[in-house]
Structure 1
Amino acid sequence: MADFIEVHVTAADRDEADRICTAAVTNRLAACAQVATQIRSTYRWEGEIQQSDEWLILMKTTGRRFAELSALIQDLHSYDVPEIVAIPITLGTPAYLEWISKETSPQ
Structure 2
Amino acid sequence: MSEFCLVLCTCPDLESARNIARQSVEQGLAACVNIIPGLESVYQWRGELQTDSEVQLVSKTYKPKLDALYKLVVGLHPYDEPEWLIIEIADGSPTYLEWIKSCTK
TM-score, normalisation: structure 1: 0.95
- Structure 2 counterpart of 1:30: 30
Q: Which moved more, 1:33-42 or 1:4-13?
A: 33-42
- After TM superposition, list the pairs within 5 Å mapping 1:11-26 onto structure 2: 11-26=11-26
Which structure 1 residue ranges, 4+ long, deviate > 4 Å from structure 2? none
- Structure 1 counterpart of 2:87: 87
In structure 2, stretches of 5+ residues that fail to align are none
Structure 1 residue 37: Cα displacement: 2.5
TM-superposition CA deviations, 1:31-66 (whole Å, max 9, x none): 001102320001100011111100001110011111
Tell whether 2:62 aligns with 1:62: yes
Supply the distance in 1 between the matched residues of 2:91 and 2:38 (Cα, whole angstroms).
27
Number of equivalences: 105
- Secondary structure of the 2:78 match is coil
| Identity percentage of aligned residues | 37
TM-score, normalisation: structure 2: 0.96
Maintained 8 Å contact 1:2/1:101: no
CA-based RMSD: 1.2
In structure 1, stretches of 5+ residues that fail to align are none
